[in-house]
Amino acid sequence: MRTARWLPILSLLWLMGLAGCSQAQQNPLPDPDIVFGYDKNLPLSPEESVAEENANYICYKVVYRSARDQRVPAFFVLPKNRPEGQKLPCVILMHGLGGDKTMLKMLWPMLTNAGYALFAIDAQYHGERKPKDPLPFFGVYPYYSRDALIQTVIDLRRAIDYLETRAEIDPKRIGYIGASMGGILGAIFAGVDERVQAPVLLVAGGNWKIMMEKSVLSILRENRENRPSKEIERALKAMEVVDPIHWVGRISPRPVLMINGDADDVVPVEANKALHEAAREPKKIIWYKGGHVPPAAELPNVLNSVLDWLNEHLKGQTAQSRFQRWLERTRLIATFLLPYLRDLWQALKEWLLNSDWAQIGFHPPLRPMHP
């Protein structure tokens, strides 16, 4: 009699188990090694040369071998204020769609002054890897875009392989900052490679369906307006394996920081939230007021949040006092803005010297005013 009493409950549990198995079979989590794996013993064969040097850092141009016979161009930046013999934490910087390895160069002064080495690559079909006749990324060729994202994740993993060969770098303190597409790539990259510590995902999102339906990005808007629904469904199916919502949860138990604008319409807010929900603890989510690019009023807070996060998780530094934070923000703004003010002043001087004004002592001619 007792057995008979439990039969309905046991049957229900059994049916729920079958439903769960069926759902798992329909949406299995891909094996990361099958999709993003590569030969670990593949020679890097790096080519290295000095690309830039100033009072704060020295930048090396590095080209290394990756999977599928790819040669990946990169910048490796070392701060000059590093203590001799001390291994440095390194932050990998990853650009957005249409950018290149210089896109986040505005962060170099801030991060090198804080004692971080940097590494930045060109994504597949970007920068020096851009073909002479490029096809539209995220356009009518979804497998082209999917394969490029997979290749770039492997290239980023090979970047860590390279960093592990450098005596200046502590391989246990490798961080990541990616913006937009770089943030999407970072969610996948950090999810499949445990060597990445405390990644920072800026203005990133997940769920390609949401992005296809709601993004104002021209190539996505053209797709949804001009392509039949069945083609869009096939494209979304092709891109499923590189949807960051499937990978971001694997970052745990490592911490992840996600920073987004509350009015972003390029990577829509709904896609931001989808990525946030897919991530597991420990995670920190920060919203700023603005769109895909932080407005000037919000930028110092965003940069301070990033630097505080890196200092805490890559250097073990505790939270700063208000006064220390004010000093850090002042220094941050100075290191961030001064290089651009110098460039602006130099460009202004060159324009003045090359104009007709130079012949009359820099006084522009007076002209009569008309109503």
Q: In this structure, how many other beta carbons lie within 10 angstroms of the beta carbon of residue 368? A: 4
Cβ atoms of 95 and 120 closer than 8 Å? yes
Residues 195 and 174: beta-carbon distance below 8 Å: yes
Say how many Å lie between the first and final Cα of the chain, rounded: 102
- Residue 340 tokens read as 């651009």
| Mean pLDDT, 10 residues at a time, the chain of 371 residues | 44 38 48 94 98 96 98 98 91 97 96 96 98 88 96 98 98 98 98 98 97 92 86 94 97 98 97 98 98 93 95 86 63 59 55 43 36 37
Radius of gyration of the chain (CA): 24
What is the per-residue pLDDT for 90? Answer: 98
Question: What angle separates helix 142-163 from helix 229-239, to the nearest 10 degrees?
Answer: 20
Give the pLDDT of residue 350: 57
In the Cβ-directed half-sphere of 217, how many Cα atoms lie within 13 Å?
23
Distant-in-sequence, close-in-space partners of 129: CB < 8 Å, separation ≥ 6: 72, 73, 122, 123
Taking alpha carbons only, the member of 119, 121, 117 closest to residue 151 is: 121
Peptide bond just before 253 cis, omega within 30 deg: yes
Q: How many residues does the chain have?
A: 371
pLDDT at residue number 343? 57
Decide: 271 and 180 in contact? Cβ < 8 Å.
no
290, 262 contact by CB (below 8 A): yes
pLDDT of residue 324: 67
Distance (Å, rounded) from C-alpha 199 to C-alpha 164? Answer: 18
Q: How far apart are CA 40 and CA 216, in angstroms?
A: 40
- Sign of the alpha-carbon dihedral angle for 194, 195, 197, 199: negative
